[in-house]
Amino acid sequence: MAFPLPADPDFRKICVEFWLDDVDDRIELGRFVDAEFSWKEANTIYLSLPAGFGDMSLEDRIYEQRVKLDQTQTS
């Protein structure tokens, strides 16, 4: 990100969701390099959450998007 994110974990989770939605949009447009960038941003922000603020459903979604990206790049 071009600017530092607020420390609020809930805000950061919203940002992760935004980037993961963007992955789907980019894949749909055939912009796989951009989709990869969006996934990396989502993953980086998620990993920056403070200890104890993880979210298993968000982790599952990050994993699912990674699989989707890998499958589109090998097709």
Q: How sure is the predictor about 3, in pLDDT bands with cuts at 50, 70 and 90? A: low
pLDDT (0 to 100) of residue 73: 76
pLDDT for 1 beyond 60: no
Predicted TM-score (pTM) of the model is: 0.88
What is the average per-residue pLDDT within 5-31?
93
What is the average per-residue pLDDT within 24-47?
96
What is each CA distance from 35 to 5, 21, 55, 59, 62, in whole angstroms? 21, 10, 22, 17, 12
